[in-house]
């Protein structure tokens, strides 16, 4: 049994089915028994805990919403709760599962040919193959439409040229889902490890998501077979559909990081004694921080649940998901900061999970659409005016200050 009691102020559990609670509790136990004992060491050593992959596969955590190939076909709430519990363990671990499920299995299953599905879905589900998703480039992050990576047809092959950056699992991956411009628009391609002209290397010096591998991918006249294109892809919108799946999971994942920080701070505050023998939890200023955390987590839970209901009803829109990702990751970021304050000096050491979550959440705040880009998505929805491009300023060019 997990020692973590959950964070449930408003009888949130009563809104879940028995099966959903069972899925959550199973992953909760896995995180407490297998993730927490090793995760600080992985973070220190900047190591992806690949030894957890077989167990995660056994628990059907890869591609859990797919209902073919022996996968469980879970609903959106259960899937979200998996993301929540994994991210309570570590955002890097949740990223691993998000990429494998939402950014690799989802596009292969949704846009792939039958042979592509048959080849990759069972292997990815079993954790026998690892995937990555290459959209971001050195010069194009928030605006992937500007991508420079190209794919051109040459007889029976595609020839890829370009570079991708900040790619989770890039050097670990057996298959990369790569987005490239063709004369007919953006398409998705499956590029296998070891293909001549395809290189990958790890990015070092990260202070965030250290238990996750982040890589650069390079393509120099990289030739892949004609049938390596995902035939159902017709434009950039297909890449954005994948991101929607992943962002939905992050809306739940953020809650997991927030819950871990809240719970750690609460337990600490109840036992840490300062001034006249009283625990610091007895001070109003400390209580105010805990109250802020549990209030925002509770609101975030309800937001995530409504997203799930809309998703299962086929009604969720990308601007709904933007609100969930933006709000709940921001809540996690604020909870990590407040928890760190409550822990005092202990808040900066990895004897406690708080500083690791605080560092991790900076990546989560930035990837899958930054906090501000999601504000623009929501802003466009409510005003009808897209504010992504700065207004024209005739005669003005960006100035470099200094020499």
What is the Cα–Cα distance from 365 to 367, expressed in whole angstroms?
6
Q: Is 366 in the site for ligand FAD (CB under 6 A)?
A: yes
Which of 82, 102, 124, 135 is close enough to bind ligand FAD by CB under 6 A? 135
What is the Cα–Cα distance from 334 to 35, expressed in whole angstroms?
24
What is the Cα–Cα distance from 47 to 39, expressed in whole angstroms?
9
Q: Is 305 in the site for ligand FAD (CB under 6 A)?
A: no
Binding segment (CB under 6 A) for ligand FAD, from list 58-66, 186-194, 229-237, 368-376: 368-376
Which of 101, 136, 200, 233 is close enough to bind ligand FAD by CB under 6 A? 136
Q: Is 379 in the site for ligand FAD (CB under 6 A)?
A: no
Give backbone dihedrals phi and psi of 390, rounded to 5 degrees, phi first. Answer: -65, 150
Cβ at position 261, least distance to ligand FAD in Å? 19
Question: Please, are residues 348 and 341 in contact by the beta-carbon 8 Å criterion?
Answer: no
What is the Cα–Cα distance from 124 to 116, expressed in whole angstroms?
12
Q: Is 252 in the site for ligand FAD (CB under 6 A)?
A: no
With tokens 């004609």, the residue in question is 226
Q: For ligand FAD, how many residues bind (rule: CB under 6 A)? A: 21
3-state secondary structure of 229: strand
3-state secondary structure of 100: helix
Cβ at position 147, least distance to ligand FAD in Å? 10
Q: Is 142 in the site for ligand FAD (CB under 6 A)?
A: yes
Q: Is 52 in the site for ligand FAD (CB under 6 A)?
A: no
Q: Which residue is nearest to ligand FAD (CB)?
A: 141
Residues with catalytic roles: 368
Q: Is 219 in the site for ligand FAD (CB under 6 A)?
A: no
What is the Cα–Cα distance from 56 to 61, expressed in whole angstroms?
5
Q: Of the two residues 110 and 370, which places its CB atom closer to ligand FAD in the complex? A: 370
Helix (H) or strand (E) holding 86: helix 76-89
- Contact set with ligand FAD (CB under 6 A): 99, 133-136, 141-142, 166-168, 209, 214, 363, 366-368, 370, 372-373, 376, 388
């Amino acid at each position: 049994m997990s020692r973590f009691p959950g964070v449930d102020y408003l009888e949130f559990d009563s809104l879940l089915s028995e099966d959903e609670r069972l899925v959550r509790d199973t992953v909760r136990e896995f995180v407490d028994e297998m993730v927490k004992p090793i995760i600080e060491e992985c973070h220190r050593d900047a190591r992806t805990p690949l030894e957890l992959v077989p167990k995660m596969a056994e628990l059907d955590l890869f591609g859990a919403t797919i209902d073919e190939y022996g996968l469980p076909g879970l609903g959106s709430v259960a899937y979200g709760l998996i993301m929540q519990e994994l991210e309570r363990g570590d955002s890097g671990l949740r990223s691993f599962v998000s990429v494998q499920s939402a950014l690799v299995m989802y596009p292969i299953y949704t846009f792939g040919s039958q042979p592509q599905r048959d080849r990759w879905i069972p292997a990815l589900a079993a954790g026998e193959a690892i995937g990555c998703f290459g959209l971001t480039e050195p010069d194009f992050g928030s605006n992937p439409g500007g991508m420079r990576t190209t794919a051109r047809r040459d007889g029976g092959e595609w020839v890829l040229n370009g570079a991708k950056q900040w790619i989770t699992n890039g050097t670990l991956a057996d298959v990369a889902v790569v987005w490239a411009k063709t004369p007919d628009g953006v398409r998705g391609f499956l590029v296998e490890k070891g293909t001549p002209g395809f290189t990958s290397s790890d990015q070092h010096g990260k202070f965030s998501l250290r238990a996750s591998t982040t890589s650069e991918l390079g393509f120099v006249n990289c030739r892949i077979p004609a049938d390596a294109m995902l035939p159902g892809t017709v434009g950039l919108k297909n890449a954005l559909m994948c991101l929607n799946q992943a962002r939905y999971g992050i809306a739940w994942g953020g809650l997991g990081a927030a819950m871990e920080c809240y719970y750690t701070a609460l337990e600490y505050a109840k036992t840490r004694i300062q001034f006249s023998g009283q625990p610091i939890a007895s001070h109003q200023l400390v209580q105010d921080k805990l109250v802020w955390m549990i209030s925002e987590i509770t609101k975030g839970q309800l937001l995530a649940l409504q997203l799930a209901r809309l998703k299962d009803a086929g009604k969720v829109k990308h601007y709904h998901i933007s609100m969930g990702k933006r709000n709940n990751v921001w809540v996690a970021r604020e909870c990590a900061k407040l928890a760190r304050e409550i822990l005092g000096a202990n808040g900066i050491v990895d004897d406690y999970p708080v500083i690791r979550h605080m560092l991790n959440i900076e990546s989560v705040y930035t990837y899958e659409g930054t906090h501000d880009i999601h504000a623009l998505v929501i802003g466009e929805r409510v005003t009808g005016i897209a504010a992504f491009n700065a207004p024209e300023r005739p005669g003005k060019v960006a100035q470099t200050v200094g020499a």
